Amino acid sequence: MTMRMHDAIIASMSKTPERERQAEFTDPYYRTRDVFTGRSDAGVSHISPETVRGKILTTQAGTIYADYLRDRYQGVATVRLTKTIPDAFAAVAGREADFALSDNLSAFQFMRSEAGQSLDIIGAPISINEITEASHIQVRKGNLRLRDSINAALRELWIDGTYHKINARYFPFDIY
């Protein structure tokens, strides 16, 4: 099957109702979890309104994470928004904020950096929006043959163990 450059988008696409009207989507090929990241010595084992009272929470402005923090923690904690997720992590690492909210893959990437060595995931993952947790490949609207071929290939990678080998090579946790 010949694929033109614009037949598919492989870029962590969320399958929203608006996008489904314009494109086809494969089955999810990975999932992220929403997590709070804080300094390892924060003395907090989970995030709740009680445990963050008076603390500074941060995340990237204009995201579902910003909405979540404002909706649940405004008035209990100070919500400080940054331009980017890495800026939020840097604020926590630099003790300008106490906890950052992001997806676990972004948190993991930052924690592997020199600046992120003092950070850890705080508490269990939370679910903010199931739609944005699953990443799909977007295919040109109406191209069901390509979508189904990609789905078959993804299933084969899963069944033969290749998917798990790739996952284990890059992450110490399951991204599916």
* Residue 76 placed within a domain: yes
Do residue 113 and residue 140 come from a single domain?
no
Rounded Cα distance between 11 and 56, Å, is: 32
Do residue 139 and residue 162 come from a single domain?
yes
Can you give the pLDDT at residue 129?
84
Q: Note down the domain range covering 91.
A: 47-123
Do residue 59 and residue 119 come from a single domain?
yes
- Length in residues, the chain: 176
Do residue 53 and residue 91 come from a single domain?
yes
Rounded Cα distance between 18 and 24, Å, is: 11
CATH of the domain at 79: 3.40.190.10
Do residue 118 and residue 138 come from a single domain?
no
* Residue 149 placed within a domain: yes
pLDDT by residue for the chain (176 residues), tens digit each? 565 567 899 988 889 888 899 999 999 999 999 999 999 899 999 999 999 999 999 999 998 899 999 999 999 999 999 999 999 999 999 999 999 999 999 999 999 999 999 999 999 999 998 888 899 999 999 999 999 999 999 999 999 999 999 999 998 888 88
How does DSSP classify residue 1? -
* Residue 158 placed within a domain: yes
Q: Which two tokens stand for residue 132?
A: 């944005």
The total domain count for the chain is 2
Contacts of 106 (CB under 8 A, 6+ apart): 85, 86, 89
Q: Which residue has the tokens 């630099």?
A: 94
Can you give the pLDDT at residue 2?
61
Can you give the pLDDT at residue 4?
56
* Residue 42 placed within a domain: no
| pTM tops 0.95 | no
Q: Which two tokens stand for residue 30?
A: 């990975």
Do residue 116 and residue 160 come from a single domain?
no
Rounded Cα distance between 55 and 18, Å, is: 37
Do residue 111 and residue 137 come from a single domain?
no
